[in-house]
Each structure stands twice: as structure tokens, then as C-alpha cells.
Amino acid sequence: MSDNLQLNPEGKLKHFLTIEGLNKSLLQEILDTAESFIGINDQQIKKVPLLRGKTIVNLFFENSTRTRTTFELAAKRLSADVLSMSISTSSTSKGESLLDTIRNLEAMFVDMFVVRHAISGAAHFIAQHTAPHISVINAGDGQHAHPTQAMLDMFTIRQIKKDFSRLRVAIIGDILHSRVARSEIQALNMLGVAEVRVIAPKTLLPAHVESLGVTVSHNLTEGLADIDVIIMLRLQKERMSSALLPSESEYFKCFGLTEDTLKNAKPDAIVMHPGPINRGVEIDSKVADGPQSVILKQVSNGIAIRMAIMAMAMQKQGSL
Ligand code: CP
């Protein structure tokens, strides 16, 4: 799903649908723009007027805690008018098509849609069919992509580790069903890390996973050697059509991150997780809440990254 629908003829961001097809300098521009917004969190009045007069609609067709709230906070901090649609109480439940919902919202002079959908490609589909002045931001589509999560994770890694070029990053768990993993692998490789390693049982890896630009380990203890950054993933049971594991407790024994298994990584390794975390399934509470965990820092950074992406997308064709 790589195409330049995301960029205007000047190479500036118009939509933000996937990391694929973007480039290193654009990712760095997003990180630098987010850096300029970080201080707003500490101001007495947490607002800048960049998107004053713009209308942003959050369309979440799938559940969310972190992404939905940080998008809403980010839009409010940019002074936009924000509408968070509750899909369960909208006319979607009466059989209205996605495109008809979009057409009706367009008729209300909307400037941006933030879309989460269980179907891969939904945000891309909306971007193809919406009016040319409207930007679409992908807040997670099926198993395909979660590019704003990847960017807030890149921001958190850069904040702590500074230089991507020497880093070995391990992504551990259910890679097969993870839109986060796909976007993370693309962003980490684009930013030039030394290695992206996936650690998982064979049943939780896509076929030909090496072609994504990763090395592979099926053993947590061995796989954590020399690792600087650990990204844990939950088992995405809602996307599993058959039993891929003997049991959750067996999975935790082999692939759960505990204080003991964490010792196999570098002593200053950081532990990340996009959330929601399942304690005792992929990660022990002592690690999730421990000194190497940056899980809540990731959540905080989600606001500045989403502010950056929304502001940059609205700059297209001089619309700011
Ligand atoms: N990381 C993430 O997408 O979390 P939510 O599903 O709560 O938005």
C-alpha cells in the first residue's frame, strides 16, 4: 500500500497513512516538529493557535484508549475544533456505508479525519475518496499500519538513546497480527538502526518475515543479547482465527519479559510497549512498572507527535 497519495507535489505531508513510501528526512522533520511542541505540556495554558478555525473529526470504528485520547488532546492543544464520533451510537449501526458517513461529515466543512478501523486499508480508502482539501490520518487499520504509534515510539527512542545508527532493537511477541510491528520495522529501518530483531514463536511470525528487513530469533534469552531497545507486543487474540499457542501461561514461560529475562539485554536497555499491556501474559508487572520501562513516557509523547503530524498535514498547499 505504498503510494504518494500521502505527499503533495512539493513532497509535503498531505495524508499520514503508512510509513511505507515516506523518507528519512520527512520522519526526522516529524520528530523535530514534535520536539518543538513538547514544552507546551508544561505551559500554564497548554495551547497554540496553529489549527484555529480548523475542524477535525475522530472516527474510531474500533476501540482505543491511548490513540483516541491523545489525538483529541493534540487537536485541542493546536486550537482546532474537535469532534470525536461515537461509532456505536452513529448511523453506521443502521447500515450507513463508510463512504456515506464520510460524505455527510464532509458536508459539515470538515478539514481532517483521524480514522481507526478494523479493516486494513480503510484510512487509505477514505483518503482516495474524500474531498481534496481534507487530510486523513491513519490511527490504526487492521493488521496493516499504525504509523503515529511508530512515530511516537521513534520519538521516545531518540529522546533517550539520541542516535539511531548504533541501536539494536528487539520486537517481541505477536508480530503476525501486529500493525504496530509493521510500522515500527519500516520506521526503524528508514531511520537507520543497526538491527531490528524479531523474537517470537514461529506461529506468530508472518511468512518470509526476513524480507521486512529484520533478523529472527525464536529464543528470548538468546535473542535479547546486545539489545538496546525492547518493544513488547501483546497477543492480539481478536485477530487470531485459530489457536496458535498451547496456552497463555506456556507463552509467558517462553516469551514473557521478566526481571530475569531482561538481564539478557544490555544493562541500559529500555522497555517499550504500545499498550494495552497484558500483565503476566507478555510482560511481568515488575518490568512494566520497573526502572527500565518507558511505557508511560510513550503515552505522553503521543500528544506531541500527533500535534506534529496534524500540523504538518494542514500545512499542505499553504492551507495554514
Ligand atoms: N497503542 C494503541 O494503539 O493503544 P489504543 O488501542 O488504546 O489506542
Spatial separation of the C-alpha atoms in residues 81 and 170, rounded to whole Å: 39
> From the CB of 302, is ligand 1 less than 6 Å away?
no
Active site residue 146: yes
pLDDT grade for 236, boundaries at 50, 70 and 90: confident
Instruction: Tell me: do 181 and 90 sit in the same domain.
Output: no
What is the whole-number distance in angstroms between the Cα of residue 273 and the centre of ligand 1?
Answer: 10
pTM of the model: 0.95
**Residue 250 domain flag:** yes
Number of domains in the chain: 2
* pLDDT value, residue 143: 95
Instruction: Tell me: do 167 and 96 sit in the same domain.
Output: no
- Closest by CA position to 69, among listed 108, 38, 114: 114
* pLDDT value, residue 244: 74
Residue whose CA is closest, atom 1 of ligand 1? 274
* pLDDT value, residue 320: 57
* pLDDT value, residue 2: 45
**Residue 76 domain flag:** yes
pLDDT grade for 92, boundaries at 50, 70 and 90: confident
**Residue 15 domain flag:** no
Spatial separation of the C-alpha atoms in residues 6 and 17, rounded to whole Å: 7
pLDDT digit string (tens) for 206-232?
A: 999 999 999 999 999 999 999 999 999
> From the CB of 66, is ligand 1 less than 6 Å away?
yes
**Residue 5 domain flag:** no
Instruction: Tell me: do 173 and 288 sit in the same domain.
Output: yes
Domain that holds residue 115: 24-146+300-319
pLDDT digit string (tens) for 262-272?
A: 999 999 999 99
Q: Rounded mean pLDDT of 303-308?
A: 98
Q: Kindly tell me if the per-residue pLDDT of 286 is higher than 50.
A: yes
* pLDDT value, residue 1: 46
What is the whole-number distance in angstroms between the Cα of residue 276 and the centre of ligand 1?
Answer: 6
Spatial separation of the C-alpha atoms in residues 22 and 20, rounded to whole Å: 6
Instruction: Tell me: do 138 and 270 sit in the same domain.
Output: no
pLDDT grade for 316, boundaries at 50, 70 and 90: low
pLDDT digit string (tens) for 94-103?
A: 888 999 999 9
Burial of 95 (0-12, 13-18, 19+ CB in 10 A): exposed
pLDDT digit string (tens) for 17-70?
A: 999 999 999 999 999 999 999 999 899 999 999 999 999 999 999 999 999 999
**Residue 84 domain flag:** yes
Instruction: Tell me: do 276 and 161 sit in the same domain.
Output: yes
User: What's the whole-number average pLDDT of the chain?
Assistant: 94
213: CATH: 3.40.50.1370
Q: Rounded mean pLDDT of 86-115?
A: 89
Q: How many C-alpha atoms does 145 have within 13 Å on its Cβ side?
A: 21
What is the whole-number distance in angstroms between the Cα of residue 26 and the centre of ligand 1?
Answer: 24
> From the CB of 275, is ligand 1 less than 6 Å away?
yes
pLDDT grade for 239, boundaries at 50, 70 and 90: confident
pLDDT digit string (tens) for 191-202?
A: 999 999 999 999
